[in-house]
Structure 1
């Protein structure tokens, strides 16, 4: 048993859902999975994992349910669980955008305890075959804490995320979506643009392409429909694109005027190295929503949820 949960159901066994299933079993939970794709379900079953014939069968008796399907499928999946969850079942998800998922689950599962989640982990490969139990080790994992979120369930889920080796980061749905617009949505859009721009350079350029092009365009190998779900509907992404376009426009204008990209290179170098070398310090946190959200806004995460009788203490790390 982990974090007060005894039985985990994962609906969707792709890269992230499959990794949750593998990681959770390693952490000691009873696990069961389900996937609408028979081939995926057969692969998971062939690897020794319990796979249910339907979502309804998978969630029967589960006290933690993970929605791990693409965003466009979340609403229908949630609707299919109506009346099938136990009174203390906690529902979470692993999607990149949080506001649309919160709205969908609230609408289809009124009264259910839902804590939106987003593990910042993964590779450009997809599917059950790419899933692995170490996927979340040292990865940040956004956990949404809204005014109507049950705090005890949030704490239980944070403890579970810690058991998977990840770092729970308290945040609201809006703040999470605004942040990932700049560190997920924007990099993917830029990678697609770089891949196309490099291709337009002709075969000589592609033969000469080395680390810079390969690294910068790597995530353009991601399935296009997934990229669209991570970007479409994020109201913060256009502003992030505006910032990037401003930097590019200034560099272009400088070069056309016999200037230099040195100012952009210096600023970008400083931004990247400062991020890489930021220092963190351990902190002890109060188990209240305001404290947790402020901790998350400062880039902090939870490392442990400690329970002593009726007292709950949280340990964490915070950049400074």
Structure 2
């Protein structure tokens, strides 16, 4: 299926937005970027990428607009697009939390086709210098499919995501936010706690710190204001924290009573190994919203969106 995107506007040229702009050019699609940060704009321009002087100028003539700024700036960016979108243009985003973005875009751009997105890619470094065109290769990319989402536009964006080497995962905003609470929000909170706990042990511990401490606290290097946008306002995160705390309390109580952490270590080891080695199988899917959301809910993703004489055929993978 050809997405037909002729011009992509990327609003926000940090790690993810910058990587999208680079990926778009690598795919042979015209792209233009904008960022309120003049340094980011100048860096992209000096690297040979087309940039615009404003949100409105970037959006003009684009048939796909990507909101790639931090969550607090999304509402203002969406409002700045009013009256500047081409007929039939699709708006998407790359934010970690989906429900706040869905609500903001609905409020500021009523009637505009919006498909929320979240590429599960990136590193702890930020900004244009960290961006790269291969960032999304084999990365999961959640695409929100709500009751009011235009299915044809969703399929068009899913095809684009496949074309740039990523794996679109159909989901609702609520499902995606509940999932990332445990695999993004929680790991960041634990990394901050680990970094502080290690520091509290004094200089000897920090000198002896090796792979486990460095790996566990690695994402604590992320800019704090970004971490808050991935955690604050997600109603599923406190429950995820409760679950993690219960495991820690169980381990603490076992050790205080002369017991062992073996049961926790066994269960955690099995969970990690099973995740690393989970088996998947190919499937064919109908272009049906409910079926697609169910596919994503069971851990499946899309590998191709094919336009055939009798309609759209989707190929995908799902865990066995």
Q: Which band: TM-score by shorter chain? A: over 0.9
1:241-273 Cα deviation digits (max 9, x unpaired): 000000000000000000100000000000000
1:3-31 Cα deviation digits (max 9, x unpaired): 21110000000000000000111112110
Q: Which runs of 4+ in 1 moved over 2 A?
A: none
Q: Specify the SS of the correspondent of 1:217.
A: helix
Contact 1:93 1:117 in 2 (8 A): yes
> Where does residue 314 of structure 1 map in the other structure?
314
Report the Cα distance in structure 1 between the residues aligned to 2:27 and 2:164, rounded to whole angstroms: 7
> Where does residue 34 of structure 2 map in the other structure?
34
> Where does residue 135 of structure 1 map in the other structure?
135
Q: Specify the SS of the correspondent of 2:165.
A: coil
Q: Specify the SS of the correspondent of 1:241.
A: helix
Q: Specify the SS of the correspondent of 2:187.
A: helix
Contact 1:3 1:160 in 2 (8 A): yes
Q: CA deviation at 1:2?
A: 5.8
TM-score (norm 1): 0.99
> Where does residue 8 of structure 1 map in the other structure?
8
Q: Specify the SS of the correspondent of 1:228.
A: helix
1:210-245 Cα deviation digits (max 9, x unpaired): 000000000000000000000000000000000000
Report the Cα distance in structure 2 between the residues aligned to 1:111 and 1:86, rounded to whole angstroms: 13
Report the Cα distance in structure 2 between the residues aligned to 1:291 and 1:175, rounded to whole angstroms: 15
Q: Specify the SS of the correspondent of 1:305.
A: strand
Q: Specify the SS of the correspondent of 2:194.
A: helix
Aligned ranges 1:26-175 → 2 under 5 Å: 26-175=26-175
Worse overlay, 170-179 or 26-35? 26-35
Q: CA deviation at 1:293?
A: 0.5
Q: CA deviation at 1:309?
A: 3.5
Contact 1:2 1:163 in 2 (8 A): no
> Where does residue 250 of structure 1 map in the other structure?
250
Report the Cα distance in structure 1 between the residues aligned to 2:29 and 2:110, rounded to whole angstroms: 27
CA distance 1:30–1:310, change in 2 (3 Å):
farther
Report the Cα distance in structure 1 between the residues aligned to 2:10 and 2:285, rounded to whole angstroms: 30
Q: CA deviation at 1:163?
A: 1.0
Unaligned runs of 5+ in 2: none
1:279-314 Cα deviation digits (max 9, x unpaired): 011111101101101100110000000002451000
1:133-165 Cα deviation digits (max 9, x unpaired): 000000000000000000000000000001111
Unaligned runs of 5+ in 1: none
Q: Specify the SS of the correspondent of 1:317.
A: strand
Aligned residues: 320
Report the Cα distance in structure 1 between the residues aligned to 2:25 and 2:245, rounded to whole angstroms: 45
Contact 1:16 1:94 in 2 (8 A): yes
> Where does residue 264 of structure 1 map in the other structure?
264
